[in-house]
Structure 1
Amino acid sequence: MRPIRPARPAPRGRSARRRSAPLLSAVGLVAALALTATACGPTEDGAAGTPTNAATGPAGGSADGKITIPDDLKDRLKEHGIDLDKWKGGEWKNWNKDDWLREAEDFVNPIIAGLWDPDRMKDAEKPPKQPVANDISGDAGVTDPVPARLPARAAKSPYHSTAPEAGRLLFDSPEGSMACSATVVKDPQHPGKSNLVWTAGHCVHAGAKGGWFRNIAFVPSYNDQAKPVSKTTPREQVAPYGVWWAKAALTSDQWIAQGGPTGGAGAPYDFAVLSVTPETAGGKSLEETVGSALPVEFNAPAVPQIVSMQATGYPAAPPFDGERMFQCADKPGRLAIKPAQPTMYRVGCTMTAGSSGGGWVAQGADGRPALVSNTSIGPVSAGWLAGPRLGTEAKAIYDKAGKK
C-alpha cells in the first residue's frame, strides 16, 4: 500500500505560528460556508476519495470548480479588518502545489462545530489509488525477509477498555475526506493532562508535492461499541469522548521534503504530533477525558531484542470498512528504503488504508507498554506493514508539540 495514510499524508518539524482570533474566526466562517467534502481512509498505504464540491448555500462554486465567497460576506469580514482575498494571496482556498500552504507557520485549522457528523465520518473511507509494491527494499543486505501474512484481529469492544488511547483521525484533502488512525500520548511538560496525539506525517501533510490538510480532527475510541454506523447514528455513539481539533501540527522536515503518495524517501520519517483542543470546551485535557495516554519510547531496542509489537488501527479499504478497530501483534523485522536512511520496523498484518498513523506498542525500557512507532506504509495484498523507528527527529517535534 502506499503510506497507509489517511489513509494518505505528513507535516514539518517546526512549530506552528499562532494566528489571531479574528483570522481564525474568519477562516472558520468561510470554511463553514465553502467546504471541500472529501473522504479517505488509509489502505495499506493510504487512500483517497473522489473530490466533491460541497460549497452550498450562500457560498457557491465558480465554473472552474473553485470556491467563491459571496460579496456581502466579504464586505462583512472587511468591516472587521479581514480581507480574505489578500490573506496569503487567497492561498487558503487553493490545493495546487504552488499555492498550497506548506510551511509550519502556515498551519490553520479552525474549529467548525458539527462538521464531522457520523455520516461524514463514515464517508472518510476510500481505497488507495497507488499501492506500494511488495518489495520496496533499497538495501537487501539490511532488510529482513518479508514477514508472514498475519490476519488482523478485531479488537474487543468497548474499545475504551481494550485500547483507550487509540482513535480515528479525520481530515479533508484535495481528493476528498480521508481517515487515518492515531494515539493519545503523554506530555512530559503537562503530566496527567496531555493534549498530544501521535499519527503519521502523511495524515496531516501531503509531503513534497503538497501542503497541510484541512479540518483535522481526532475521535478517541471511535465507534466504541463496534455497532453499525449510518446517517442516523447518534454522534455520541461514534464519538463517545468528543471530537478534538488539531490546533498545532508538527512533522519531520524529511517528510515534507521527500514524502510522497507511496511513502518514498520520506517513509522513515513519516510521523507527526498534534496538539488538540476539544470541539466543545469542557475544561479537561484529552488524557483526563479518555483516562489514559501512552509514553513515547525513542530509540527503542534493536529489532532482535524486541519480542513483539502490536499495531492498532481502523482499516478502511476492503475487506474492512473503517468502522471497527483491528490489531496485529508480531515480532518485527527490518526494512531499509535506502542504505543511508534509518531502517523501518516491519510486521506481518493485513490491515489496509485507514490504519495509517495507528500506534505500534511494545514493552518500554521500564517494562510498561510504550508507543514505539506508527503505521506508515504497506502493500495492498502482501499482508505487511512498516513503521518508522523513532529517533532524534521524532523526539524534537514531540518536545515542540508539548509547548503548544
Structure 2
Amino acid sequence: MLSPRTRTASRPGRRRRTVLAASTLTVALTVTATACGADDDRHNAATGSGPSPVASQGDGKGEGQGKVSLPGDLADRLKEHGIDVDAWKNGGWKNWDKKDWLREAKDFVNPVIEGLWKPERMQSAKEADKTVTVKDASAGQGVSDPEPVPVRAEAERTPYHRNAAPVGKVFFDAPDGPKVCSGTVVKDVNHPGKSNLVWTAGHCVHAGGDGGWYRNIVFVPAYNDYGKSEAQLADASFREMAPYGNWWADWASTSNEWIAGGSDTGGDGAAYDYAVLHVQPEQGAKSLEETVGAALAVDFSAPAAAQAGQMGAWGYPAAPPYNGLRMFKCIDRPGRLSLSPSLPTMYRIGCTMTGGSSGGGWFRVVNGETKLVSNTSIGPLDNTWLAGPQLGPSAEALYQYMSRTHGGR
C-alpha cells in the first residue's frame, strides 16, 4: 500500500482557480435538480422532509416482509443457475461458495427483496475501498504527471435533491457484509426523458478476477437528503434516508477487462473500472429520471488530461474521517495516472474523499452543460487524490448496449 505522507501546502494561484471553477461547475450541476417551488422548499426545510418518494414505503423501521419481485424471465434464469427463489429470499443469497458465485457477464441476477435495505442496514454498510500499491503507482513513471496537491473535499449543500439531484449511493452485499459506493443518474440516449440508467464503478458491482457479481444491488438517489447527523438519524424513517425510494438493478454491465483483471487494488482492470446499472423502483412506476427530475449526459470524447480543464468528483465518502452520511465534492484540474504502459492512462485529481466515494461521477461543463466524464476508481492509502478511467469507445459500447437492450423498460 502507499505509505502515508505529509501533505504539501496548496499554491495560492492554483487554489484561486480551483474555487472559481468549483463555483461554475456547482452551479451547472445545481440546475439539473428537481424543479421544486419555493413554497415546497420552505415546507421541506421546516419539516425535515424531502421530495415525495416513488410510492408509500412505510416508516422502514419494521422488519421487511421478504417479498421477492421477479420481472420477466428472471425466475427461469434463476432456475438455470440452480437458484431456488424461496431459498434466495430466505437468506440463500448469503451463500458465497466459490463454485456458486456467478461471475460471467451473462450471469447477472438481482431479484428484488422488498424491505431488505432499511435505514439501519444502509447505515451499517461499509465502504467499498480501492487503493493502489507502490508497484501499481510506480509502473507509469515517465507517463504519470506529478501527484496533485490535495484538495479538501467540500460538503454539498442540502437538500441534495435541489443541488445534486443525479447523485446517490449504491448499496450491495459482498461476502463480508453490506457495502456502499456512489453513483449517478445518467441520460438514456435511446429513451430520452425516461432513463433508468445509473453510472458507477465496476468494483461496486463485480469483484473482478477473483470473484463474481455482488448481490442485492440498489441505488438510492439523494440519500439522506438533508445531510442529517448520525444522532439526528437515530429514529430516521425510510423517507428521510431514501426520499425517492430504493431502485434495484435488474441488470448490470461492467467491462470485460474489469471482470478478467480487476482486483482489491484495482489491478489491470482499474483503467476499465466502470459499470452501468439498469434499475427499477422497489415500488412505483415512473422512470428514475422522471422521479428524480434529473439525469446527466455521458461524454465519451472527453479530452486528454492536459486539455480537460476543471473536473469535479461527487460522492459519499464513508471511511474515516467521514461516515457516509453526507455528500461531498472535490474540484481540480486533472493530471495523468499510468498504471502500466499497456493500459490507458487515467484521470487523477487532488481530493481527500475516502472509500465509499467509489463509483461517484466526475463531471465537467461543456458549453454550459454538465456531463459525466469519469467515475472514482482508485486512490492512495493517505487519501490525497482520486483516479478515474477515461471513457472511450469501449465504455460507450457498454453504455449503448445497456440503453438498447435494457432501456425503456
TM range (shorter): 0.7 to 0.9
Q: Is the 8 A contact 2:128 2:179 kept in 1?
A: no
For residues 160-203 of structure 1, give each alpha carbon's deviation from its aligned partner in whole angstroms, at most 9, with x where no partner exists: 11110000000000111100000000001100000000000000
Confirm or deny that 1:251 pairs with 2:254.
yes
- The match for 2:245 is 242
Amino acid across the alignment from 2:294: S
Distance 1:172 1:151, change over 3 A: same
- The match for 1:74 is none
Could you tell me which of 331, 354, 357 is aligned with 1:355?
357
- The match for 2:315 is 313
Displacement after TM superposition at 1:19 (Å)? 3.6
Q: Distance in 2 between matches of 1:186 and 1:370?
A: 10
For residues 50-87 of structure 1, give each alpha carbon's deviation from its aligned partner in whole angstroms, at most 9, with x where no partner exists: xxxxxxxxxxxxxxxxx7xxxxxxxxxxxxxxxxxxxx
Amino acid across the alignment from 1:263: G
- The match for 2:334 is 332
Q: Distance in 2 between matches of 1:322 and 1:252?
A: 27
Q: Distance in 1 between matches of 2:193 and 2:128?
A: 37
Q: Distance in 1 between matches of 2:278 and 2:203?
A: 16
Confirm or deny that 1:31 pairs with 2:34.
no
Q: Distance in 2 between matches of 1:22 and 1:102?
A: 18
Q: Percent identity?
A: 54
Gap regions ≥5 residues in structure 1: 3-16, 37-66, 68-92
Q: Distance in 2 between matches of 1:106 and 1:18?
A: 15
For residues 245-301 of structure 1, give each alpha carbon's deviation from its aligned partner in whole angstroms, at most 9, with x where no partner exists: 000000000001110001011100000000000000x22100000000000000201
- The match for 2:213 is 212
Amino acid across the alignment from 2:88: A
Q: Aligned Cα RMSD in Å? A: 2.1
- The match for 2:273 is 270
Q: Which stretches of structure 1, 4 residues or more, deviate above 4 A after TM superposition?
A: 22-28
Deviates more, 1:134-143 or 1:102-111: 134-143
Amino acid across the alignment from 1:182: G
Tell me the number of residue pairs that the alignment of Structure 1 and Structure 2 aligns: 331
Greater helix fraction, Structure 1 or Structure 2: 2
Mapping of 1:33-72 within 5 angstroms? 33-34=90-91
**TM-score, with structure 1 as normaliser:** 0.78
- The match for 1:41 is none
Amino acid across the alignment from 1:312: W
Q: Distance in 1 between matches of 2:140 and 2:132?
A: 17
Distance 1:127 1:241, change over 3 A: closer
- The match for 1:175 is 176
Distance 1:400 1:142, change over 3 A: same
SS of the aligned residue for 2:363 comes to: strand
Displacement after TM superposition at 1:126 (Å)? 4.7
Distance 1:140 1:187, change over 3 A: same
Displacement after TM superposition at 1:125 (Å)? 2.3
- The match for 2:152 is 151
SS of the aligned residue for 1:136 comes to: helix
Q: Is the 8 A contact 1:24 1:110 kept in 2?
A: no
Displacement after TM superposition at 1:382 (Å)? 4.4
Amino acid across the alignment from 1:228: S
Gap regions ≥5 residues in structure 2: 3-70
